[in-house]
Structure 1
Amino acid sequence: MAVMTHRIEHDLLGELAVPEQALYGIHTQRARENFSISGASVGQFPDLVVALADIKQAAAEVNHELGILPQAKAQAIVAACKELRAGALHEQFVVDMIQGGAGTSTNMNANEVIANRALELMGHGRGRYEYLHPNEDVNLSQSTNDVYPTALRLALHAGGVRLLQALASLREAFQERAQAFSGVLKMGRTQLQDAVPMTLGQEFASYAAMLAGDERALAHALHGLLEINLGGTAIGTGLNAPDGYGNRVRDRLARLTGLALTTAPDLIAATQDTDALVALSAVLKRVAIKLSKTSNDLRLLSSGPRAGLGEIVLPPMQAGSSIMPGKINPVIPEVVNQIAFEVIGNDLTVCMAAEAGQLQLNAFEPIIAFALFKSLAHLRAGCAALQTRCVADIRANEDALRTSVHESIGLVTALSPYLGYERAGKLARDAQATGRRVAELVLERKLMSAAQLDEALGVQRLTGQA
């Protein structure tokens, strides 16, 4: 068995042993010991690691241009950052996502990994910080309080773009089904009671339209993430950053990421304010609510298959029961429902954490980050599953739909302009009492001619397409 060796590092609290093979250092090691909370480490969120590396590279390049970071150090830091941005060394980001300290442990994890990798590239051993220091060099002109919020915004923007793509693909699947079902007549329902006829295509088109609205709202929220507080350092005053650093580092970061970043007009306000994160969370909750409502509808419309509505047939994904042979459950809409429940709960977490900020800093951004990253990832996965494993292969049960229209008492609403409200109401009561069809009673009582009835109950008129 290989013997684990350690190096001794020190900080203001004293000395601590750090595994020799680790690229992280003493601050990260203390955080590992202090924050064994969620089991989810920063390294499991690649967008966040890449965003931190983007910021550290931009800062190193600008600090060198401003003459406060020697070229050899700057080159080594940039080279280490490029490795992180390419996906390497993420396993060295071992701090738990849920942590005290307003994200300081995450920022220091990045500083230490970059410093030790840069030291290796310069030909020095890990922990030889006299040659290149995590705080004095990698964190130069920065604070956790401008690095961490900026990194969150960059990382959340990346995740949000992927969710936008998943929403668009799901919307297109609903649109395709809407076109396929454009000529399939059915009864619409309000309060679970028969209302007036529509087409199944119109029903599915409405789901696509709701998703389109969510896409617009999400795109707007993502744009809000592009305003950053980088350059404000500790509380937004820019203390310890050289003149011109803020605008330069923003421009360099924008070039690295390809994003149209802007600096907040009031950096003191921006350092304590989490409004863009709250706005994003609110939109994710909106998306979750719409997806859950749609999933509820799909489960209801497919209920049965014989003792329920049975109007649509969902693709069978797996056996539904350990005791009832042949039972197939709507498992994909069910999992989307559960994702929605989680996202709605995450929004409450975000709101409470945002409200709890005090004075010039919100110390609770780590839990905001964790909640939002989960919401983005799970919503995206849910959209993909709903699209590919459910919506794309939904079939219409046209016999059941046709029967429901012919049998429905809701047809009297379409006849009300011809018969009057009172007479139509009596017709509805009689149809309900006798179990007969509305059209039969109309013709039997000579309330309308066959031609008039055909015109009144024509598909185009019934579905608002006349």
Structure 2
Amino acid sequence: MQAYRVESDLLGELNIPVDAYFGVQTQRAINNFKISNHQLAHYPEFIKALAVVKLGAAQANFELGILNEDIYKAISYACNELMEGRFTDQFPIDMIQGGAGTSVNMNANEVIANIALEYLGKEKGDYQYCSPNDHVNLSQSTNDAYPSALKLALFEMNKQLLAALEKLYFAFDKKAAEFENVIKMGRTQLQDAVPMTLGQEFEGFSITFKKEIQSITRSALNLLEINMGATAIGTGLNAIPDYAQLCTSKIAAITNEPVKLAENLVEATSDTSAFVEYSSGLKRLSIKLSKICNDLRLLASGPRTGLFELKLPPKQPGSSIMPGKVNPVIPEVVNQVCFKVIGNDLTVTFAAEAGQLQLNVMEPIIAFSIMESIQYLTNAIRTLRTECVEGIIANTEHLRQEVQNSIGIVTALNPHIGYKASTKIAKEALETGRSVYDLVLEHQLLTEEKLNEILDPKNMLGPHI
């Protein structure tokens, strides 16, 4: 039989597994919130960020003389243990929860307190020597500690996303160079337009990701503005003068990031705009990423009755009934991730709007939605690069034939024979199946020498006199 210790709170006593480093309030959260099967333990960056916040607070409280040295050292030891990635299994609470993040904050307070108690040579739960509330949570509230830790966690997770995105940018850029001289037809509204190179098309893809890197980097910087010292509603009740700025500076030093204190703590405690802006950036990235995956699927369609301009790496048999069928499964899975992220952004939007008066109690679903989006996008981007983009092959000869047979090249004749004559040639070519080249010569609109010069595909790839 499992052994228990007994802990109590406002609502009474509960049995806690004797080996658990969490306490009674964490146990209540375990009992209350059986929602998503996604635990705080699955997001180690959040746990580490909570430890950073608690360490910064302990350093400030010690320096201000309101936390004794023995307890400070014990709390510091415990926080460093969490920052090293230990004890993550002691955070079993569901990511979706009521209480504005109180369960998360108390889970951290209790685990840190019990690690500290062991450091002090005491028993777990012997909180008179190191209390989750009176010592670990000193000068804090869930309402400043939770959103501050969440912002730091998202900023760290964003680094992984940016690293994956940068590699995808370079992969497309490398393909752009590889396809620099591969002639093809461009399309608008799925109809033939004018010639371009496959390299130009892939360069457009790569620049898209370069711009998204820049955009997301800018929006992530707003996550470094925190409200430590606000305590419950931003007035700083139960924190002493100088604590807010000192705690913030300690956190900045621990993270080595430009963390700064919000200008107005009342405003900052209820405001979730940094989360909204960052989530919107993930949505923007998802829209562009999904569009490019759509393009890859279109360009690879076929092989006999589609565009078949690209050959994507074959990854698995595509049908349980059609022999030989291979589907573009990697772009397809990335599309689906993008849909999920776009949906998560709508959740964040509703949650941000639902804030009331001095606090937004919906921050847990904001946290879960954005963290899930970052994880999914990071994995999807890495998968797209390694399992698809790096192995793309151009169907070069087919692309060249499309250009030569296209009616779209008649656009290049506009400056020389006029729009009306060009339209007539295009219509006749379409109706008869004959080439634009032959019809122009037949109607004696241009000399063969001049026509060859104009319709040289290389002369149609950019501005030309």
TM range (shorter): over 0.9
Q: Which residue of 1 aligns with 2:72?
A: 74
Which residue in the other structure is 1:44 paired with? 42
Equivalent residue in structure 1 for 2:414, among 413, 416, 421: 416
Please report how far the alpha carbon of residue 443 of structure 1 lies from its aligned counterpart in structure 2 after TM superposition.
2.0
1:388 — aligned with what? 386
Taking the aligned partners of 2:279 and 2:391, their CA distance within structure 1 comes to 31
Partner of 1:397: 395
Asked if 1:117 is matched to 2:115, the reply is yes
Partner of 1:28: 26
Report the equivalent of 1:300: 298
The AA in structure 1 aligned to 2:277 is A
User: Aligned residue for 2:195?
Assistant: 197
Within the candidate set 341, 353, 365, 1:355 is matched to 353
Report matched runs for 1:270-285 at 5 Å: 270-285=268-283
Q: State the shift of 1:460 in Å.
A: 3.2
Alpha-carbon separation, structure 2, partners of 1:242 and 1:43: 33
Partners of 1:282 and 1:446 in 2: how far apart? 57
Q: How far apart, CA to CA, are the structure 2 residues paired with 1:353 and 1:318?
A: 40
**Which whole-Å CA distance do the structure 1 matches of 2:115 and 2:56 have between them?**
17
Amino acid in the other structure paired with 1:443: L
CA distance in 1, matches of 2:197, 2:209: 19
Equivalent residue runs for 1:384-463 within 5 Å: 384-463=382-461
Structure 1 residue 52: deviation in Å? Answer: 0.2
One-letter amino acid of the structure 2 residue matched with residue 46 of structure 1: P
Aligned with 1:416: secondary structure? helix
Return the alpha-carbon distance in structure 2 between the equivalents of residues 8 and 216 of structure 1.
Answer: 52
Question: Matched residues in 1 for 2:414 and 2:455: separation?
Answer: 12
Paired residue for 1:328?
326
1:151 alignment counterpart? 149
Q: Tell me the residue number matched to 2:85.
A: 87
In structure 2, C-alpha distance between the alignment counterparts of 1:86 and 1:325, rounded to whole Å: 51
Question: For 1:81 and 1:443, how far apart are their aligned partners in 2?
Answer: 82
1:76-95 CA-to-partner distances (Å, cap 9, x unmatched) read: 11001111000000000011
Aligned residue for 1:366, secondary structure, equals helix
Paired position in structure 2 for 1:291: 289
2:259 pairs with 258, 261, 274, which one?
Answer: 261
Please give the alpha-carbon distance, in whole angstroms, between the structure 2 residues aligned to 1:444 and 1:399: 28
Unaligned runs of 5+ in 1: none
Work out the CA distance in 1 between the residues paired with 2:42 and 2:145: 19
Return the letter of the residue paired with 2:317. Answer: A
Provide the residue aligned with 1:96 in structure 2: 94
In structure 2, C-alpha distance between the alignment counterparts of 1:63 and 1:228, rounded to whole Å: 18
CA apart distance, 1:56: 0.7
Listed one character per residue, the Cα deviations across residues 151-199 of structure 1 (whole Å, up to 9, x for unaligned) are 1100000111111111111011111101111111111100000011111
Distance 1:271 1:91 in 2: 29
For 2:70, the aligned partner's letter is A
CA distance in 2, matches of 1:5, 1:465: 80
Paired residue for 2:246? Answer: 248
How big is the shift at 1:446? 2.2
Task: Give 3-state SS (helix, strand or coil) of 1:132's partner.
Answer: coil
Q: Displacement, 1:465?
A: 5.7
2:462 aligned partner: 464
Distance, in Å, in 1 between the alignment partners of 2:313 and 2:441 is 41
Q: What whole-Å deviation, never above 9, does each CA across 1:286-319 have from its counterpart, x for those lacking one?
A: 0000000000000000000111000011011111
CA distance in 1, matches of 2:452, 2:31: 77
Inter-partner Cα distance in structure 2 for 1:165 and 1:43 = 23
Q: Distance in 1 between matches of 2:107 and 2:196?
A: 58
The one-letter code of the counterpart of 1:256 is: I
- C-alpha distance in structure 2 between counterparts of 1:455 and 1:280, whole Å: 51
Which residue is 1:371 aligned to? 369
Give the 3-state SS of the residue equivalent to 1:91 in structure 2. Answer: helix
| Cα distance in structure 1, aligned partners of 2:220 and 2:419 | 50
Q: How does 1:200-211 map to 2 (within 5 A)?
A: 200-211=198-209
- Distance in 2, matches of 1:23 and 1:308, equals 60
Q: Secondary structure at the match of 1:268?
A: helix
Note the alpha carbon deviations across 1:356-382, whole angstroms, 9 max, x for none.
Answer: 000000000000000000101111111
C-alpha distance in 2 between matches for 1:448 and 1:147: 76
For residues 444 and 258 of structure 1, the distance between their equivalents in structure 2, rounded to whole angstroms, comes to 73
Q: Report the RMSD for the aligned CA atoms in angstroms.
A: 0.8
Q: Secondary structure at the match of 1:359?
A: coil
Q: Counterpart in 2 of 1:223?
A: 221
Gaps of 5+ in 2: none
CA distance in 1: counterparts of 2:457 and 2:406, whole angstroms: 15
Number of the residue aligned with 1:172 = 170
* Number of aligned positions between the proteins: 464
What's the offset of the Cα at 1:459? 2.9
Q: Secondary structure at the match of 2:184?
A: strand
Counterpart CA distance in 1 for 2:431 and 2:202 is 33
The percentage of counterpart residues that share the same residue type is 53
Other structure's SS at 2:108 match: helix
Cα distance in 2 for residues equivalent to 1:39 and 1:465: 57
Residue 461 of structure 1 and its aligned partner are, at CA, apart by 2.4
In structure 1, distance between residues paired with 2:213 and 2:456: 35
Per the alignment, residue 131 of structure 2 pairs with: 133
Could you tell me how far apart the structure 1 residues matched to 2:296 and 2:221 are?
Answer: 32
Q: Normalized against structure 1, the TM-score is what?
A: 0.98
What is the TM-score with the length of structure 2 in the denominator? 0.99
For the residue of structure 2 that corresponds to 1:225, the secondary structure is: helix
Alpha-carbon distance in 1 for matches of 2:65, 2:254: 21
